[in-house]
Amino acid sequence: MATRTEQAARTALAAAIGTEHLRDAGQADTVGGVQPRWVASVDGTEQTAAAMRVAAEHGLRVTARGAGSKIDWGGTVEAVDLVLDLSRASEICEHAAGDLVLRARAGTSLAEVQRVAAEAGQQLSIDQPFPEATVGGVIATGTTGPGRHLFGAVRDLLIGITVVRADGVVTTSGGKVVKNVAGYDLGKLYTGSYGTLGVITEAIFRLHPLAAEHRWVAVTLSDPGAAGEAVHTVRSSQAMPTAVETDRAEPDGPITVCAHLEGRPQATHRRARELAERLDATVGVSGEVLDAAPPWWGRYPFGNAWGTGLRLGAEPAAIGSLLAGVQQAADHRDLPLAVRGSAGLGVLHAGVPDSADPAAVADLVRELRAVTTEYGGHAVVLRAPEAVRATVDPWGPIAEGELTLMHRTKDQFDPEHRLSPGRFVGGI
């Protein structure tokens, strides 16, 4: 039976955004296994603000959702009263092609952004393994792909942002010009904050021209040390790679190191040939020049609904050692682990299938934390089946001084801890 308080909250929400946009949450609406109470579908900043004001008044805990492709990433939320579904907030508000700038609502899919940008021969240089992923979700999780090597990460391409605060107040930072140092750059703070500081409703990105020609140069090696050497060869060359990726489907399997080059017709092919020769000289295996990306390119070795997915970081020069450490950790536990990622930057993703023993996976995470820490990095569990989530802190340790500042930041933005409480580092 509904209590008066529940009734009041629901009525106020319906009044704020329209009855037709509010419904009771179902099984499919769980957030990392946690059942929310209601789902409010909003079409943009105004409706989000209206819903958030009601949420503030009634003390509702809120999780924002785009396409839901990463809704179960991060820590398990303590509770969710309201899922704020932004998938109706799908619109490219402005594409200033001459200025290489695009403004979109948070629920717009990256695929749609790319489609519109491509019409003008442009791209948003954020690769997404899940094409349905939305602008808001991509910012909130800070996910990007191979092209990050040259173009930077999400935070480097985001130039303006509109966020509705926990108290329902609409705020912006940045703007629609690429070069801008007026005020604090809150876009960086919101990027990768997993919706714990506010609800992102609109974003402005810098675009890049689409290149005329693309080549991939791949070498396949058996040994992590040689793979590390190949990565180093590409990075230290003047070939100006767009991306330097690696892929290893099984713990002891062959390792592919693949560089992406892009640019003008002919010139790119010539650069690719030169790089292939250079690889031959340093690792003794001639690089193969490909016209298309290998099939694994830009994908995670886990799915949006299956597997344990990890993000491993290490200083870039340690990539060979990291690959070796990962291999050892998987072998010890006889786990079928795949790794893939931006080797040139020191970022790898690892995937273990759902069938793996949860205790062994949790144990693997602990060992990978030790390995990555040695190389100045970290091991984060992005997504995992509930049995794994229950036994391991997805984020791992964070130095005390920095964590204190993070807690204070959270307290400033969301003093009542109503935005996805528990989902972020240190229980934030």
Partner 1 sequence: MVANGEQSSTLHALIRRFRDALAPDAVITDPQQLRTYECDGLANHRVVPAVVVLPEDAEQVRSVVRACAEYGIPFVARGSGTGLSGGALPHADGVLVVTSRMRRILEVDIANERAVVEPGVINLDVTRAATPYGYYFAPDPSSQQVCSVGGNVAENSGGAHCLKYGFTANHILAMEVVTPDGELVELGGRAPDAPGYDLLGAFIGSEGTLGVATRITVRLLRSPESVRTLLAGFPSTDEAGAAVSAIIADGVTPAAIEMMDALSIEAAEQAVHCGYPEGAGAVLVVELDGPAAEVDHTFAEVQRHCGEHGAFEVRVAADEAERALIWKGRKSAFAAVGRISRDYIVQDGVIPRTALPEVLARISALSAESGVRVANVFHAGDGNLHPLVLFDGDHPGAAERAEEVSGAILDLCLEHGGSITGEHGVGADKVRYMGRMFTSDDLDTMQRVRCSFDPENRCNPGKVFPTPRLCGEAPGPRRGVHPLTEAGLADQF
Instruction: Find the binding residues for partner 1 in span 175-234 (CB under 8 A).
Output: 175-186, 188-189, 191-193, 197, 208-212, 232
Q: Answer yes or no whether residue 235 interacts with partner 1 by CB under 8 A.
A: yes
In 3D space, the residue among 41, 158, 186, 141 whose CA is nearest the CA of residue 102 turns out to be: 158
- The stretch near partner 1 (CB under 8 A) out of 110-118, 292-300, 358-366, 398-406 is 398-406
Nearer Cβ to partner 1 (43/81): 81
Closest CA relative to residue 33, chosen from 387, 396, 417, 425: 387
Rounded CA separation 162/199 (Å): 9
Choosing from 56, 92, 111, 152, the residue that interacts with partner 1 (CB under 8 A) is 152
Q: DSSP string of 28-87?
A: GG-BTTBPPSEEEE--SHHHHHHHHHHHHHHT--EEEESSSTTTT-SSPPS--SEEEE-T
Closest distance of CB 334 from partner 1, Å: 27
Task: Find the radius of gyration of the CA atoms of the chain.
Answer: 22
Closer residue to partner 1, CB minimum distance, 16 or 109:
16
Bridge partners of residue 282, in order along the sequence: none
- The residues near 15 (Cβ < 8 Å, ≥ 6 apart) are none
Q: How far apart are CA 89 and CA 106, in angstroms?
A: 6
Q: How far is the CB of 354 from partner 1 (least distance, A)?
A: 23
Please, which residue, 188 or 383, has the CB nearer to partner 1? Answer: 188
Closest CB 411 distance from partner 1, rounded Å = 5
Complex with partner 1: residue 109 or 418, whichever CB lies closer: 418
Question: What's the closest the beta carbon of residue 75 comes to partner 1, in angstroms?
Answer: 11
Site for partner 1 in 347-376 (CB under 8 A): 347, 372, 375-376
3-state secondary structure of 9: helix
Size of the site for partner 1 (CB under 8 A): 109
Separation CA 229–CA 278 (nearest Å): 12
The two three-digit tokens of residue 69, written as one number: 């492709």
Instruction: Count CA atoms closer than 13 A to 132's CA, side-chain side.
Output: 11
- Quick one: 225 or 336, whose CB is closer to partner 1? 225
Q: Please pick, from the candidates 23, 88, 155, 333, the single residue that binds partner 1 as defined by CB under 8 A.
A: 155
- Taking the least distance from each CB to partner 1, the nearer of 241 and 358 is 241
Site string for partner 1, 88-117 (x = CB under 8 A): --------x-xxxx----------------
Nearest approach, Cβ of residue 29 and partner 1 (Å)? 14
Binders of partner 1 in range 5-44 (CB under 8 A): 5-6, 9, 34, 37
Residue 419 DSSP one-character state: B
Q: Which residues inside 281-340 make contact with partner 1, applying CB under 8 A? A: 311, 313-317
Q: Tell me, what DSSP letter sits at residue 426?
A: G
Which of 11, 19, 236, 286: binder of partner 1 (CB under 8 A)? 236
Interface with partner 1 (CB under 8 A), residue from 250, 291, 386, 411: 411
Question: Considering only 59-67, 277-285, 290-298, 351-359, which stretch makes contact with partner 1 by CB under 8 A?
Answer: 59-67
At 256, give phi and psi (nearest 5°).
Answer: -100, 130
Q: How far is the CB of 195 from partner 1 (least distance, A)?
A: 12
Both tokens assigned to 102: 């695009």
Measured from the CB of residue 38, what is the shortest distance to partner 1 in angstroms? 11
Separation between Cα atoms, residue 321 and residue 414, nearest integer Å:
40
* Of the candidate residues 380, 384, 388, 392, the single one contacting partner 1 (CB under 8 A): 380
- Residue 340's CB is within 10 A of a number of other CB atoms, namely 24
- Closer residue to partner 1 (CB): 107 or 168: 168
Q: What token pair was written down for 52?
A: 């958030």
Q: Which is nearer to partner 1, 23 or 37 (CB)?
A: 37
Q: Which is nearer to partner 1, 162 or 256 (CB)?
A: 162
Q: Give the residue among 299, 224, 294, 278 at the shortest CA–CA distance from 255.
A: 224
227 vs 344: CA distance, rounded Å: 11
3-class secondary structure for 48-63?
HHHHHHHHHHHCCCEE
CB atoms under 10 Å from CB of 56, counted, come to 17
CB 369, min distance to partner 1, A: 11
Q: Which stretch binds partner 1 (CB under 8 A): 17-25, 110-118, 353-361, 409-417?
A: 409-417
Task: Identify the three-state secondary structure at position 309.
Answer: strand
Interface with partner 1 in residues 245-284 (CB under 8 A):
263-264, 266-268, 270-271
